[in-house]
Amino acid sequence: MTTYHAVEVEGLQVFYRKAGNPDKPVVILLHGFPTASHMFRDLMPVLEKDYYLIAPDYPGFGHSSSPDRDHFQYTFDHITDIMEAFINELRLTKYALYVFDYGAPIGFRLAMRRPENVTAIISQNGNIYREGLGGKWAAREEYWRNPTPEKRDSYRIAFAPDTIRNQYVDGTKVNQVSPDGYTLDIAYMSRPGNDEKQLDLIFDYQTNVKLYPDFQKYLQEHQPPLLAVWGQNDISFIPEGAKAFKKDLPEASIHLFDSGHFALETHAKEIGELMLSFLKKVGV
Protein backbone atom coordinates (compact mmCIF):
# COMPACT_ATOMS: atom_id res chain seq x y z
CA MET A 1 0.00 0.00 0.00
CA THR A 2 1.01 3.61 -0.43
CA THR A 3 2.08 5.48 2.70
CA TYR A 4 2.66 9.20 3.25
CA HIS A 5 5.72 10.87 4.75
CA ALA A 6 7.74 14.06 5.10
CA VAL A 7 11.44 14.61 5.61
CA GLU A 8 13.37 17.80 6.38
CA VAL A 9 15.65 18.89 3.56
CA GLU A 10 17.63 22.13 3.87
CA GLY A 11 15.08 23.52 6.33
CA LEU A 12 12.08 22.52 4.20
CA GLN A 13 9.54 19.76 4.73
CA VAL A 14 9.44 17.61 1.60
CA PHE A 15 6.31 15.48 1.43
CA TYR A 16 6.47 12.17 -0.40
CA ARG A 17 4.50 9.03 -1.10
CA LYS A 18 6.13 5.66 -1.02
CA ALA A 19 5.04 2.14 -1.82
CA GLY A 20 6.62 -1.27 -2.23
CA ASN A 21 9.52 -3.12 -0.64
CA PRO A 22 12.75 -1.13 0.01
CA ASP A 23 14.70 -4.22 -1.04
CA LYS A 24 13.29 -3.97 -4.57
CA PRO A 25 14.68 -1.71 -7.33
CA VAL A 26 13.84 1.97 -6.83
CA VAL A 27 11.71 4.14 -9.12
CA ILE A 28 11.54 7.88 -8.35
CA LEU A 29 8.40 9.52 -9.74
CA LEU A 30 8.73 13.21 -10.61
CA HIS A 31 5.52 15.17 -11.14
CA GLY A 32 4.75 18.17 -13.35
CA PHE A 33 2.71 21.37 -13.36
CA PRO A 34 0.20 22.19 -11.92
CA THR A 35 0.05 18.95 -10.00
CA ALA A 36 1.94 17.03 -7.29
CA SER A 37 2.65 13.42 -6.33
CA HIS A 38 -1.06 12.62 -6.23
CA MET A 39 -0.85 12.28 -10.04
CA PHE A 40 0.74 8.86 -9.40
CA ARG A 41 -2.10 7.57 -7.20
CA ASP A 42 -3.32 5.08 -9.83
CA LEU A 43 0.12 4.10 -11.15
CA MET A 44 1.78 3.17 -7.86
CA PRO A 45 -0.51 0.21 -7.09
CA VAL A 46 0.38 -1.32 -10.48
CA LEU A 47 4.11 -1.19 -9.72
CA GLU A 48 4.38 -1.64 -5.96
CA LYS A 49 4.75 -5.44 -5.94
CA ASP A 50 7.93 -5.28 -8.02
CA TYR A 51 9.46 -1.88 -7.20
CA TYR A 52 10.14 0.51 -4.36
CA LEU A 53 8.40 3.73 -5.35
CA ILE A 54 9.19 7.24 -4.14
CA ALA A 55 7.09 10.22 -5.30
CA PRO A 56 8.00 13.61 -3.77
CA ASP A 57 6.23 16.98 -3.98
CA TYR A 58 8.53 19.83 -5.00
CA PRO A 59 8.80 22.95 -2.83
CA GLY A 60 5.81 25.14 -3.64
CA PHE A 61 3.75 22.15 -4.79
CA GLY A 62 1.39 19.74 -3.09
CA HIS A 63 2.08 19.18 0.60
CA SER A 64 5.74 20.21 0.66
CA SER A 65 6.87 23.50 2.21
CA SER A 66 6.08 26.57 0.13
CA PRO A 67 8.52 29.21 1.33
CA ASP A 68 8.19 32.87 0.42
CA ARG A 69 9.96 34.06 -2.69
CA ASP A 70 12.10 36.30 -0.47
CA HIS A 71 13.60 33.17 1.12
CA PHE A 72 13.53 30.66 -1.72
CA GLN A 73 14.48 31.01 -5.36
CA TYR A 74 11.86 29.31 -7.55
CA THR A 75 14.05 28.05 -10.36
CA PHE A 76 14.47 24.61 -11.86
CA ASP A 77 18.11 24.48 -10.80
CA HIS A 78 17.15 25.20 -7.19
CA ILE A 79 14.30 22.68 -7.12
CA THR A 80 16.74 20.13 -8.55
CA ASP A 81 19.12 20.95 -5.69
CA ILE A 82 16.34 20.18 -3.20
CA MET A 83 15.40 16.94 -4.99
CA GLU A 84 19.03 15.86 -5.04
CA ALA A 85 19.30 16.54 -1.30
CA PHE A 86 16.02 14.67 -0.78
CA ILE A 87 17.36 11.63 -2.65
CA ASN A 88 20.55 11.77 -0.58
CA GLU A 89 18.54 12.05 2.64
CA LEU A 90 16.68 8.86 1.73
CA ARG A 91 20.03 7.24 0.82
CA LEU A 92 18.90 6.23 -2.63
CA THR A 93 21.91 5.43 -4.83
CA LYS A 94 20.37 3.49 -7.73
CA TYR A 95 17.04 4.39 -9.25
CA ALA A 96 14.96 4.64 -12.37
CA LEU A 97 13.39 8.03 -13.05
CA TYR A 98 9.79 8.59 -14.17
CA VAL A 99 9.66 12.12 -15.54
CA PHE A 100 6.54 14.07 -16.53
CA ASP A 101 6.28 17.69 -17.68
CA TYR A 102 8.30 19.75 -15.13
CA GLY A 103 9.72 16.45 -13.92
CA ALA A 104 11.68 16.09 -17.17
CA PRO A 105 14.03 19.08 -16.78
CA ILE A 106 14.39 18.26 -13.08
CA GLY A 107 14.98 14.57 -13.73
CA PHE A 108 17.46 15.12 -16.55
CA ARG A 109 19.39 17.59 -14.40
CA LEU A 110 19.58 14.88 -11.73
CA ALA A 111 20.68 12.33 -14.31
CA MET A 112 23.45 14.59 -15.62
CA ARG A 113 24.69 15.20 -12.08
CA ARG A 114 24.70 11.51 -11.12
CA PRO A 115 24.63 9.41 -14.30
CA GLU A 116 25.96 6.40 -12.45
CA ASN A 117 22.85 6.36 -10.24
CA VAL A 118 20.28 6.15 -13.03
CA THR A 119 19.18 2.67 -14.08
CA ALA A 120 16.49 3.70 -16.60
CA ILE A 121 14.25 6.61 -17.60
CA ILE A 122 10.53 6.58 -18.26
CA SER A 123 9.41 9.80 -19.93
CA GLN A 124 5.67 10.47 -19.93
CA ASN A 125 5.08 13.67 -21.89
CA GLY A 126 8.42 14.79 -20.52
CA ASN A 127 10.03 16.75 -23.33
CA ILE A 128 13.71 17.54 -24.01
CA TYR A 129 13.55 18.28 -27.77
CA ARG A 130 12.54 21.39 -29.68
CA GLU A 131 10.50 19.23 -32.03
CA GLY A 132 8.33 18.31 -29.05
CA LEU A 133 7.29 21.90 -28.29
CA GLY A 134 3.70 22.63 -29.28
CA GLY A 135 2.47 25.84 -30.87
CA LYS A 136 2.06 27.79 -27.61
CA TRP A 137 5.81 27.86 -27.03
CA ALA A 138 6.48 30.51 -29.69
CA ALA A 139 4.62 33.09 -27.59
CA ARG A 140 6.41 31.94 -24.47
CA GLU A 141 9.81 32.30 -26.11
CA GLU A 142 8.86 35.83 -27.17
CA TYR A 143 8.05 36.53 -23.50
CA TRP A 144 11.45 35.21 -22.46
CA ARG A 145 13.13 37.51 -24.99
CA ASN A 146 11.07 40.51 -23.93
CA PRO A 147 9.87 39.92 -20.34
CA THR A 148 7.53 42.83 -19.68
CA PRO A 149 5.33 42.94 -16.55
CA GLU A 150 2.27 42.78 -18.81
CA LYS A 151 3.46 39.55 -20.43
CA ARG A 152 4.23 38.05 -17.04
CA ASP A 153 0.73 38.90 -15.85
CA SER A 154 -0.77 37.30 -18.95
CA TYR A 155 0.42 33.90 -17.72
CA ARG A 156 -1.84 34.06 -14.68
CA ILE A 157 -4.36 32.38 -16.94
CA ALA A 158 -2.32 29.19 -16.39
CA PHE A 159 -3.70 28.99 -12.85
CA ALA A 160 -7.35 29.60 -13.74
CA PRO A 161 -9.65 26.68 -12.86
CA ASP A 162 -10.79 26.22 -16.47
CA THR A 163 -7.20 26.16 -17.72
CA ILE A 164 -6.21 23.51 -15.18
CA ARG A 165 -9.27 21.41 -15.97
CA ASN A 166 -8.58 21.67 -19.69
CA GLN A 167 -5.02 20.43 -19.19
CA TYR A 168 -6.55 17.23 -17.85
CA VAL A 169 -9.41 16.68 -20.27
CA ASP A 170 -8.13 18.08 -23.58
CA GLY A 171 -7.26 15.23 -25.91
CA THR A 172 -9.24 12.61 -23.98
CA LYS A 173 -12.54 10.91 -24.68
CA VAL A 174 -15.61 12.38 -22.99
CA ASN A 175 -16.19 11.35 -19.36
CA GLN A 176 -12.91 9.44 -19.02
CA VAL A 177 -11.14 11.82 -16.64
CA SER A 178 -12.07 11.91 -12.96
CA PRO A 179 -12.49 15.44 -11.54
CA ASP A 180 -10.47 14.50 -8.45
CA GLY A 181 -7.05 15.35 -9.85
CA TYR A 182 -7.78 18.70 -11.40
CA THR A 183 -10.00 19.77 -8.47
CA LEU A 184 -7.09 19.19 -6.10
CA ASP A 185 -4.69 21.02 -8.40
CA ILE A 186 -7.06 23.99 -8.56
CA ALA A 187 -6.98 24.11 -4.76
CA TYR A 188 -3.17 23.93 -4.68
CA MET A 189 -2.78 26.67 -7.27
CA SER A 190 -5.23 29.02 -5.54
CA ARG A 191 -3.22 29.27 -2.32
CA PRO A 192 -2.17 32.85 -1.45
CA GLY A 193 1.16 33.83 -2.99
CA ASN A 194 1.43 30.71 -5.09
CA ASP A 195 0.78 32.57 -8.34
CA GLU A 196 3.99 34.60 -8.13
CA LYS A 197 6.06 31.50 -7.36
CA GLN A 198 4.60 29.71 -10.34
CA LEU A 199 5.13 32.75 -12.56
CA ASP A 200 8.81 32.65 -11.55
CA LEU A 201 8.99 29.05 -12.77
CA ILE A 202 7.22 29.85 -16.04
CA PHE A 203 9.85 32.52 -16.70
CA ASP A 204 12.68 30.21 -15.65
CA TYR A 205 11.47 27.46 -17.99
CA GLN A 206 13.69 29.05 -20.63
CA THR A 207 16.68 27.52 -18.83
CA ASN A 208 15.28 24.08 -19.58
CA VAL A 209 15.00 24.73 -23.31
CA LYS A 210 18.57 26.06 -23.32
CA LEU A 211 19.68 22.82 -21.67
CA TYR A 212 18.06 20.56 -24.29
CA PRO A 213 21.42 20.02 -26.09
CA ASP A 214 23.03 19.05 -22.76
CA PHE A 215 20.21 16.65 -21.91
CA GLN A 216 20.60 15.09 -25.35
CA LYS A 217 24.37 14.84 -24.93
CA TYR A 218 23.78 12.99 -21.65
CA LEU A 219 21.64 10.45 -23.54
CA GLN A 220 24.22 10.09 -26.30
CA GLU A 221 27.08 9.52 -23.88
CA HIS A 222 25.39 7.31 -21.28
CA GLN A 223 22.71 5.50 -23.31
CA PRO A 224 20.30 4.88 -20.41
CA PRO A 225 17.42 2.50 -21.18
CA LEU A 226 14.45 4.74 -21.99
CA LEU A 227 10.74 4.21 -22.38
CA ALA A 228 8.63 7.09 -23.73
CA VAL A 229 4.91 6.79 -22.96
CA TRP A 230 3.06 9.74 -24.43
CA GLY A 231 -0.44 11.08 -24.57
CA GLN A 232 -0.40 11.71 -28.32
CA ASN A 233 -3.06 14.43 -28.18
CA ASP A 234 -1.02 16.66 -25.86
CA ILE A 235 -0.85 20.18 -27.31
CA SER A 236 1.95 21.29 -24.98
CA PHE A 237 4.43 18.49 -25.69
CA ILE A 238 3.50 16.96 -29.00
CA PRO A 239 4.33 13.36 -30.05
CA GLU A 240 7.38 14.44 -32.03
CA GLY A 241 9.05 14.93 -28.65
CA ALA A 242 8.61 11.23 -27.88
CA LYS A 243 9.79 10.11 -31.32
CA ALA A 244 12.88 12.35 -31.09
CA PHE A 245 14.40 10.16 -28.36
CA LYS A 246 15.26 7.69 -31.14
CA LYS A 247 17.81 10.18 -32.50
CA ASP A 248 19.98 9.77 -29.41
CA LEU A 249 18.78 6.38 -28.18
CA PRO A 250 18.12 4.06 -31.13
CA GLU A 251 16.94 1.35 -28.72
CA ALA A 252 14.40 3.62 -26.98
CA SER A 253 10.91 2.19 -26.70
CA ILE A 254 8.18 4.64 -27.83
CA HIS A 255 4.46 4.17 -27.13
CA LEU A 256 1.71 6.67 -27.95
CA PHE A 257 -1.68 6.58 -26.25
CA ASP A 258 -5.00 8.10 -27.30
CA SER A 259 -4.89 10.57 -24.43
CA GLY A 260 -3.76 14.08 -23.56
CA HIS A 261 -1.11 15.69 -21.35
CA PHE A 262 -2.15 13.80 -18.20
CA ALA A 263 -2.09 10.34 -19.75
CA LEU A 264 -2.06 8.63 -16.34
CA GLU A 265 -5.60 9.87 -15.76
CA THR A 266 -6.84 7.57 -18.52
CA HIS A 267 -4.10 4.96 -19.03
CA ALA A 268 -2.39 4.34 -15.66
CA LYS A 269 -2.87 0.56 -15.84
CA GLU A 270 -1.60 0.32 -19.41
CA ILE A 271 1.40 2.55 -18.71
CA GLY A 272 2.18 0.62 -15.54
CA GLU A 273 2.11 -2.70 -17.38
CA LEU A 274 4.39 -1.31 -20.10
CA MET A 275 6.78 -0.10 -17.41
CA LEU A 276 6.86 -3.52 -15.76
CA SER A 277 7.68 -5.20 -19.06
CA PHE A 278 10.25 -2.59 -20.04
CA LEU A 279 12.06 -2.50 -16.70
CA LYS A 280 12.28 -6.29 -16.54
CA LYS A 281 13.57 -6.39 -20.12
CA VAL A 282 16.40 -3.94 -19.36
CA GLY A 283 17.28 -5.69 -16.11
CA VAL A 284 15.93 -3.20 -13.59
Closest C-alpha to 105, from 201, 25, 198, 17: 201
Single out the catalytic residue among 31, 63, 261, 267.
261
Label the pairing between strands 95-99 and 3-9.
unpaired
261 is catalytic: yes
CA atoms of 1 and 3, how far apart (whole Å): 6
Give catalytic residues, as residue numbers. 261
